[in-house]
């Protein structure tokens, strides 16, 4: 089961091999196939700039090392952009299986499952209708200043609460890493509730976005440990 979590100017996708272990949180929407992801994007009013932000949340970060971040937005339609995102995140399934079995993660993504059932076709049709509405959204994005867009809200959560939750997680990560003994990846995952690839992405951006530089070392007893540089 995949989940999409979106807050103000921040978003991430996680994968849970065992859906029974998923603990639902605010702003977290589950999906398990391409039509359901496309429906979430449609309901949230996401445009090509927002989808580019979602792509950039994992592009260039293992296991997506060879994927290049986008400078502005997707140069295609919304459905094609969502398809590219869906194709890419399939390797999270392989990453979880590889980590369990101790096998290196494969570099190539799995092929998406074809849409065959009438129900899936109906969802796709509904999600790709109203071209006039999509055109208005695209034109609005082109006229707006070249600043980072705000993500569409995917749950009825007050804005201040969403911002506070995001700041609290990042502040907690920096606080733990700043300790003399640093913080292991396992400790950070437990404190934040993130998955491994989300944690790696967050730490990799601390230097550029928060001016907080880090370094990491491999410990025989604690595994991967992060320290303030």
- pLDDT tens for 113-157 read 444 455 555 555 555 554 444 445 445 555 555 555 566 655 444
Domains of the chain, first to last: 2-143 (no CATH), 159-228 (1.10.10.10)
Closest CA to 112 of 80, 74, 75, 70: 80
Tell me the mean pLDDT in the region 36-47: 92
DSSP secondary structure letter of residue 113: P
Identify any residues that bridge with 29 across adjacent strands, giving them in sequence order: 4
Residues with Cβ within 8 Å of residue 221, at least 6 apart in sequence: none
pLDDT one-digit tens code per residue, 88-98? 999 888 765 55
Long-range contacts of residues 120-128, Cβ cutoff 8 Å, at least 24 apart:
120/33, 120/34, 120/35, 123/35, 123/36, 123/38, 123/39, 124/35, 124/38, 124/79, 126/39, 126/42, 127/35, 127/38, 127/39, 127/41, 127/42, 127/79, 128/78, 128/79
Separation CA 11–CA 53 (nearest Å)? 8
Q: What percent of the chain has pLDDT over 90?
A: 27
Q: How far apart are CA 120 and CA 133, in angstroms?
A: 22
pLDDT of residue 18: 85
Mean pLDDT confidence for 168-192: 89
pLDDT digits (tens, 9 = 90+) for 58-78: 998 888 889 999 988 899 999
């Amino acid at each position: 089961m995949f989940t999409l979590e979106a807050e103000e100017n921040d978003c991430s996708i996680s994968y849970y091999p065992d859906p029974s272990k998923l603990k639902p949180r605010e702003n977290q929407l589950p999906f398990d196939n391409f039509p359901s992801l496309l429906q979430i994007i449609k309901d949230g009013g996401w445009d090509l700039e927002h989808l580019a932000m979602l792509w950039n949340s994992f592009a260039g970060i293992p296991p997506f090392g060879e994927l290049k971040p986008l400078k502005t937005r997707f140069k295609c339609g919304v459905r094609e952009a969502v398809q590219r995102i869906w194709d890419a995140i399939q390797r999270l399934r392989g990453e979880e299986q590889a980590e369990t079995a101790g096998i290196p993660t494969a570099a190539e993504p799995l092929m998406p499952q074809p849409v065959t059932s009438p129900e899936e076709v109906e969802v796709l049709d509904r999600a790709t209708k109203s071209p006039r509405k999509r055109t208005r959204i695209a034109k609005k994005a082109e006229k707006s200043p070249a600043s980072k867009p705000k993500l569409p809200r995917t749950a009825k959560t007050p804005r201040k609460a969403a911002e506070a939750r995001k700041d609290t997680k990042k502040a907690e990560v920096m606080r733990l890493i700043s300790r003399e003994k640093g913080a292991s990846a396992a400790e950070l995952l437990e404190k934040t509730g993130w998955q491994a690839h989300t944690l790696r992405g967050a730490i990799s951006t601390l230097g550029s976005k928060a001016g907080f530089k880090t370094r990491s070392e491999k410990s025989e007893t604690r595994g991967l440990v992060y320290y303030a540089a």
